[in-house]
Structure 1
Amino acid sequence: MRLPNQFLIYVSDAASAAAFYGELFDAKPEVLSPRYMTFDLGGGVVLALWSGKSRDLDPATPRNFEVGILVDGGSNEIRAIHDEWVAKGVEVVEEPNEDVFGLTFVISDLDGNRVRVAPADH
């Protein structure tokens, strides 16, 4: 079976996006080029940031996906991540709330892409 192993996010400025995600993930990009940067997520999976074809990227364009960060620490860890990111000035677009999968919240990156934090499925 072939499984996805790269998740590519279109961004207007790869270096700025890499700094943003690097701060969120407390990680450094593995591949660095002027328009393309990747973060190794383990297991052969990468998160890629690409500004190579983003001339038409408009922050007002609806986003139909989210980057998901699933955490094992339950509600307390989710609230701690929320508070940490708010202190860093990250834009929260959905405050912490209970949903069908538990406590969750959503932030926006510099280009309007969504990042959701939620509990890990067990």
Structure 2
Amino acid sequence: MSSSIVFIVYVNDAPEATRFYADLLGIAPTFETPGYVAFALGGGASLALWSGQLTEVTSAVPRTSEVCLELPDDPAELDRRFALWVAKGVRVVSEPADTVFGRTFVAADPDGNLLRVVAATV
């Protein structure tokens, strides 16, 4: 079994998506080509953006997963992050709310991929 995992997010424009994620996450890519970019997240996990040169990966294709960014169990920090993302012009899908697993909100990247931010209580 591998000791690392890569989460791939399909995008239409890798350079645009790279700027978006680098700005939101506050980190620089660790690997970058014109169609594939990776961000090391620590603990053997990476987030990759891939244009894939695949004809079926377009903004019209429904997205069926989320990237979840877990914050420390601090609802106030989640609300601050939400306000920061709104100020950056990030498209909000659902505003902050308290759920069974903690306070959360959902945004979308330029390709419609969902980004859930949660102040986890579990």
Residues 100 and 4 (structure 1 numbering): CA distance in 2 closer, same or farther, change over 3 Å?
Answer: farther
Distance 1:22 1:93, change over 3 A: same
- TM (norm. structure 1) is 0.92
Normalising to structure 2: TM-score of the pair?
A: 0.92
Could you report, residue by residue, the CA deviation over 1:66-102 in whole angstroms, capped at 9, with x for unpaired residues? Answer: 1001111411000000000000000000111111112
For residues 39 and 101 of structure 1, the distance between their equivalents in structure 2, rounded to whole angstroms, comes to 26
2:45 aligned residue: 45
Percent of matched pairs sharing the same residue: 43
Kindly report which structure 2 residues correspond to 1:1-122, keeping only aligned pairs within 5 A, or say none. 1-2=1-2, 5-122=5-122
Q: Where do 4+ consecutive residues of structure 1 move more than 3 Å?
A: 1-4
* Matched pairs, number: 122
Q: Which runs of 5+ in 1 are unaligned?
A: none
Q: Name the aligned partner's letter for residue 72 of structure 2.
A: D
Worse-matched range after superposition: 21-30 or 61-70 = 61-70
Q: 1:12: how far off?
A: 0.3
* Residue identity opposite 2:110 in structure 1: L
After TM superposition, give the deviation of residue 121 of structure 1 in Å.
4.5
Deviation track 1:35-62 (CA, whole Å, cap 9, x = no partner) reads 0000001122110001123432232322
Q: Where in structure 2 are there 5+ consecutive unaligned residues?
A: none
Secondary structure of the residue aligned to 2:106 is strand
Q: Which moved more, 1:58-67 or 1:103-112?
A: 58-67
2:57 partner letter: L
Question: What is the DSSP-based 3-state SS (H/G/I as helix, E as strand, rest coil) of the residue aligned with 2:12?
Answer: coil
CA RMSD of aligned residues (A): 1.6
**Secondary structure at 1:29 match in 2:** coil
The residue type paired with residue 116 of structure 1 is R
In 1, the alpha carbon distance for the partners of 2:44 and 2:119 equals: 23
**Kept in 2: contact 1:107–1:114 (CA 8 A):** yes
The amino acid that maps onto 2:48 is: A
- 1:61 and 1:46 map into 2 onto residues whose CA distance is 24
